[in-house]
Amino acid sequence: MSLKKVLTIASIFIVGLGIVGAWFLFSSNTNFKSGNKEIIVKNRMSLIEITNLLLTDTIILSQSSFDMTCKLLRYKDQTIKPGRYVIKSGMSNFDIVKKLRNGLQDPVNLTINNVRDMSQLCSKISQQLMLDSTILYNKLMDSLFLDSINLNRENIISLFIPNTYQVYYTITPEKLISKISSEHEKFWSSKNRREALQQRNITEAQCYTIASIVEKETTFESEKQAIAGVYLNRLKTGMKLQADPTVVFALGLFGIQRILFEHLSTASPYNTYMIDGLPPGPICMPSLSSLEAVIQSEMHEYLFFCAKPGYDGSHLFAKNYQAHLQNAAEYRKWLDKENIK
């Protein structure tokens, strides 16, 4: 065979290898036709674990071509970067591996809501991010930090405005706290919220505590501002709040359906039947709507409210104690009729 033919065959072979290599690298290797899928690469994950995750979640189609691309781009255990990565339909092996290898994360939608206390909150955050809940909790409870933001261990949860925030999966506790503090300031400095609190003679932390009680009092959005107004009226006149949800919190019996007379004497700084004013801190993280209900609470003369007979959970309001007693008697009568203990 002549040298010319050998060179021609070699050239064809090299070109063929190039075409095959380009196909492995740059042709689509996603196993879904449209939209996006995500992968969470956790700390200390191996390449085998990541590959299995991509296959199990039907993100990639061909394992062999993905493995070959990883070798070509030197993506291995030592170069893995944790994070949340969004894989778009039609992405090639080159696109996927380059994104993973370079740590080109996509932000996590961190949802902060529906928790009772700081322990639950830190646990919920750690389930969504690469954060240790104990480390985060300890940093938030640090006395120097609390002093710097004028909060304490009982009301530190009021730093967290219930919402969804975009952060990276690998965010540090320090950067997360800075982000939350920034969002807290942004919330209170907008829409004349601080001016509204001044008119009602309450602080941001006090507003949060009242909102937490409102949150547990009603599921009716239309009632929240009226209920907030009742509590503010009671604070103004020096009456005890006498809020049943604070008794539930003090007892720790969160599934209880009916507050009995014997429960009202529970010794606790959170039992507003026993203490004057507000409890030391919130009894839960309120929803955004409950916070806004206190900020924009109704101006009225009601001092009492009581659950209305029936299963809908709505309330009857009263301006004086006599009217309230009548409402309460009707409700107790209904409870007894329904055999609700």
Task: Look at residue 9 and tell me whether its pLDDT is greater than 70.
Answer: no
Gap between the Cα atoms of 84 and 41, Å rounded: 6
User: Among residues 180, 270, 172, which one has the least CA distance to residue 216?
Assistant: 270
CB atoms inside a 10 Å sphere around CB 304: 22
For 275-295, what is the mean pLDDT? Answer: 97
Is the pLDDT confidence value at 86 over 80? yes
List, for residues 301-313, the tens digit of each pLDDT value.
999 999 899 888 8
Q: Answer yes or no: is pLDDT of 17 > 90.
A: no
Chain CA centroid to CA 276, Å: 32
Residues 6 or more apart from 177 whose CB is under 8 A from it?
A: 139, 140, 145
What three-state secondary structure class fits 234? helix
| Residue 239 banded pLDDT, cuts 50, 70, 90 | very high
Q: Is 13 a residue whose pLDDT tops 50?
A: no
Q: What mean pLDDT comes out for the span 178-191? A: 97
Give the pLDDT of residue 25. 64
Helix axes 133-140, 118-128, angle to 10 degrees: 130
Q: Which tens digits make up the pLDDT trace of 191-230? A: 999 999 999 999 999 999 999 999 999 989 999 999 999 9
Q: What is the mean pLDDT of residues 9-27?
A: 52
- pLDDT given for residue 313 in this prediction: 84
- Nearest to residue 155, comparing CAs of 144, 141, 165? 141
For 45-106, give the DSSP string: --HHHHHHHHHHTT-BS-HHHHHHHHHHTT--GGG---EEEEEETT-BHHHHHHHHHTT---
Say if residue 267's pLDDT is above 90: yes
User: Looking at residues 318-341, what average pLDDT do you find?
Assistant: 90
Strand partners, 164: 111
- Res 23 pLDDT > 60: no
Task: For residue 30, give the DSSP letter.
Answer: B
Please state, as a whole number, how many other Cβ atoms lie within 10 Å of the Cβ of residue 178: 12
pLDDT of residue 154: 97
- Say if residue 340's pLDDT is above 90: no
For 21-25, 82-86, 241-245, 306-310, which range has the lowest pLDDT when averaged over its residues? 21-25
Q: What is the CA radius of gyration of the chain?
A: 29
Percentage, residues of the chain above pLDDT 90: 82
The mean pLDDT of 83-112, rounded to a whole number, is 96
Per residue in 101-157, pLDDT (tens digit) is 999 999 999 999 999 999 999 999 999 999 999 999 999 999 999 999 999 999 999
Q: Do the beta carbons of residue 245 and residue 270 sit within 8 Å? A: no
Helix/strand/coil percentages in the chain, nearest 5: 50, 10, 40
For the chain, the domains span 16-101, 108-188, 193-300
Task: Look at 40-49, 95-104, 250-259, 325-334 and tell me which has the smallest mean pLDDT.
Answer: 250-259
Question: Which residues have CB under 8 Å from 259's CB, separation 6+?
Answer: 244, 247, 248
How confident is the model at residue 252, as a pLDDT? 87
Domain 16-101 annotated CATH 3.40.720: no
Print the SS3 string covering the chain: CCHHHHHHHHHHHHHHHHHHHHHHHHCECECCCCCEEEEEECCCCCHHHHHHHHHHCCCECCHHHHHHHHHHCCCCHHHCCCEEEEEECCCEHHHHHHHHHCCCCCCEEEEECCCCCHHHHHHHHHHHCCCCHHHHHHHHCCHHHHHHCCCCCCCHHHHCCCEEEEECCCCCHHHHHHHHHHHHHHHHCCCCHHHHHHHHCCCHHHHHHHHHHHHHHCCCHHHHHHHHHHHHHHHHHCCCCCCHHHHHHHHCCCCCCCCCHHHHHCCCCCCCCCCCCCCCCCCCCCCHHHHHHHHCCCCCCCCEEEECCCCCCCEEEECCHHHHHHHHHHHHHHHHHCCCC
pLDDT given for residue 6 in this prediction: 43
pLDDT(4) > 70: no
Q: Report, as an integer, the average pLDDT of 280-307.
A: 96
Please report which confidence band the pLDDT of residue 48 belongs to, taking 50, 70 and 90 as the band edges.
very high
- pLDDT value for 18: 45
Q: What is the pLDDT of residue 254?
A: 82
Q: Is the pLDDT of residue 189 over 50?
A: yes
Tokens of 80: 């893995």
- Picking from 135, 175, 191, 182, the residue whose alpha carbon sits closest to that of residue 160 is 182
pLDDT of residue 311: 87
Tell whether the model's pLDDT for residue 256 goes beyond 80.
no
